Amino acid sequence: MPKDTFFNLTQDKRARVVEALKAEFAEHSYTQASVDRVTASAGISKGSFYQYFNDKLDAYTHLVRELMDARIDVQDAPVPEVPFDVVLRAMVLGSRDFFRRDPRGWAVLARALSADAPVVLGSDETVNAGVHRWAVAAITAGQESGELRTDVDPETAAWMMEKVLLSVPEYVVARFGVSPRQAAKDGSAFERPEIAAVADDVVVMLVAALMPRPQNRTGGRPHG
């Protein structure tokens, strides 16, 4: 977690530091990334860097977390009024298309899937609390409208959604043999039809898990 001195920077200077981090980790693996290059690019001293972050890992973890928030891209959005499956599909597709919106950010996240990268994706530090609150609110709204089943805890359902969405890239890389290094340079690797089908399957299964269970003819829950 960055120190208070980082968050106390002006918005422009903080953005400059983040862009320098993004450029460095987009072009280099974690082990090859250089704090010296980051400070030179950001126009700050090395001493200042360590006033903002504990170390390189601290800065990297913060960057990946910020990029994951941007990839999911919902935390500042209002609770949607469209059907839940539409919301979820937009989240999955928006996440998949992140490389178009932010090529450098995409490259950082792609490299984060490499074997030599610190385990940051999927950790409890990955998702901003704002994303979680949005997911809980969206699920609660769906339950209140009768669209989603009410016998599921919204907090637990939101946690499940987050974990699944965060894990899809790692699963795709492992299953389809996508090279994180190549994906960092060419995001279109994730546009292959078989990979797009995985995104569709994720939506179908998550929606099915949260849809109300069909009642039997007597009005009760089905047995078995």
Q: What's the token pair of residue 161? A: 């959604």
Dump pLDDT digits (tens) for 118-175.
877 555 555 566 677 878 888 888 888 888 899 999 999 988 887 787 777 778 878 8
Q: pTM of this prediction?
A: 0.72
How far is 186 from 121, CA to CA, in rounded Å?
Answer: 20
> Around Cβ 73, how many Cβ atoms within 10 Å?
16
For the stretch 101-118, what's the b/e string if a residue is b when 16 or more beta carbons lie within 10 angstroms of its beta carbon?
ebebbbbbbbbbbbeebe
Dump pLDDT digits (tens) for 27-68.
998 999 999 999 999 999 999 999 999 999 999 999 988 888
Which has the closest alpha carbon to 104: 35, 199, 28?
Answer: 28
Dump pLDDT digits (tens) for 183-195.
777 666 667 788 8
- Which band of pLDDT confidence, cut at 50, 70 and 90, is reported for residue 214? low
- Whether 202 contacts 168, CB under 8 Å: yes
In this prediction, residue 6 carries a pLDDT of 95
Dump pLDDT digits (tens) for 69-104.
777 665 555 566 667 777 777 667 666 667 778 888
> Around Cβ 156, how many Cβ atoms within 10 Å?
11
In this prediction, residue 80 carries a pLDDT of 60
Which has the closest alpha carbon to 133: 155, 114, 104, 109?
Answer: 155
Question: Is the pLDDT confidence value at 10 over 90?
Answer: yes
Backbone angles phi, psi at 174, to 5 degrees: -70, -45
